[in-house]
Amino acid sequence: MSRLRAWRLVVGIPLLAAAVLAVLVAWLNRRDESPVDLAPGVATAEQVARGAYLARAGNCAACHTDRGGAPYAGGKGIETPFGTVFASNLTPDPATGIGRWSPAEFWRALHNGRSADGRLLYPAFPYPSFTEITRADSDALHAFLRTQVPVARPNRAHALRFPYDTQAALAVWRALFFRPAAFVPDPARDAAWNRGAYLVRALGHCAACHSPRNAFGATRRSLELSGGLVPMQGWYAPSLASSAEAGVADWPAEQVHALLRTGVAPRGATLGPMSEVVFRSTQYLSDADLAAMTRFLQGLPAGSAAPAGPAPTATPQRTQGAALYADHCAACHGANGEGGGNAAGLAYVALAGNRKVQLESPTNLLRIVLSGGYPPTTAGNPRPYGMPPFGQVLKDAEVAAIATYVRGAWGNRASEVSEVDVLAAH
């Protein structure tokens, strides 16, 4: 074999493999796509009303409304490990929004993660969950958004690092981790459970926060709703299956319903990002839908809880934490972490046996100590009372000492907290 032929063989095989891979990736990204109907469609008043309700259920405004901006006009930055993705303009402005989008193009965005112009969308827009939204609900959402005030606000370019800012990299990601799907009711379950599954898995896209992600940012479907760190928010979204984290299988159903409706219940309260979910979304859902979500959440397979740690031993950090707790915390939370109330009717959370305190990750506790934490303002809890911030009062070492003490006192058995943990929680 001549050197020229050998060179061509050595070069040609990788080129052929690359070409085959490119064709395969392109085919995988076109699965389940039918020709897009460009007809504008005619929305009914019933569709618009239904779409308004669904937009609440999906909490669409949380990402697509920037602080101080017009509703659904986009521009809000969503932090990811790969850079910042900016939410798009969903108002019916024809030049910068979705004013020229047909119902079928809108459906394709939800179901296939592809924009009207054919671009692949980044999964910060949670189409891996939205892919299961029904076409009827998609059309209703589109009809509702078309009634919003048009806002001429050009979409901001994403600030992503190379190669994540390329359509080629996104195409490979989708080929590996995304499959268009449809919600299929479980025939072994009743209508309420299936409705709850649809609301939690598809429209509510709860897995986007409450499921762990791999190194490429894809949710791990085999561990759906088993908890995960939310990089764009800096909180840990606890497992919805584990009774040691945020599982509600052993709660009375009416308390789960109250938590989703008001943000507070006898056995817990929503704080951080979940407060926003209740504030913007679940407090507005019908009793039937909240009951359905409760039914589904209480039926999740029980996740494994982390084993309790050893009984804490006396250390200088714990001694310091005990003194700081007595000075800054005991007046509200009790000398023994028992919580309680006062004459004004304000309730103070018990820290002894508290699930939030004992999560394997101390992130949420630290964020609450540093920045405070309040349940949402809702019709059922119009004047929420919460935790004031101590980030300007205490040094990082002092916050770590208090957190370590609280996580190991009164029968709590969670790990110690370091200054590095506190720094990461800022």
Instruction: Point out the least confidently predicted range of 74-83, 117-126, 286-295, 303-312.
Output: 303-312
Q: What domains can you pick out in the chain, each with its CATH number? A: 28-177 (1.10.760), 191-214+222-298 (1.10.760), 316-425 (1.10.760.10)
Residue 104 is predicted with a pLDDT of 95
368 is written with which tokens? Answer: 């609450």
What confidence tens digit (pLDDT) does each residue in 311-333 have?
Answer: 788 899 999 999 999 999 999 99
Mean pLDDT of 377-394: 93
With cut-offs at 50, 70 and 90, classify the pLDDT of residue 97. very high
The answer, yes or no, to whether residue 18 has pLDDT greater than 60, is: no
Average pLDDT, the chain: 90
pLDDT at 363 over 90: yes
* Digit-coded pLDDT (tens) for 104-158: 999 999 999 999 999 999 999 999 999 999 999 999 999 999 999 999 999 999 9
User: 254-271 burial by CB neighbour count: b if 16+ within 10 A, else e?
Assistant: ebbbbbbbbbbbeebbbb
Question: CA 248 to CA 83: how far, in whole Å?
Answer: 34
Exposed, middle or buried: residue 327 (CB in 10 Å: 0-12, 13-18, 19+)? exposed
Q: Which two tokens stand for residue 11?
A: 């070069």
Percent of the chain with pLDDT over 70: 88
Give the C-alpha separation, 101 to 124, whole Å: 21
pLDDT of residue 9: 56
Span 377-387, average pLDDT:
91
> Model-level pTM?
0.88
CB of 103 within 8 A of CB of 181? Answer: no
Please give the biggest Cα pair distance in the chain: 95
Locate 191 and state its tokens: 């209508």
User: What phi, psi does 233 have (nearest 5°)?
Assistant: -120, -15
The rounded distance, in Å, linking the Cα atoms of 145 and 91 is 6
Q: What percent of the chain has pLDDT over 90?
A: 78
Give tens-digit pLDDT for 208-248.
999 999 999 999 877 789 998 886 678 999 999 999 999 99
| 27, pLDDT greater than 50 | no
Cβ atoms of residues 409 and 350 within 8 Å = no
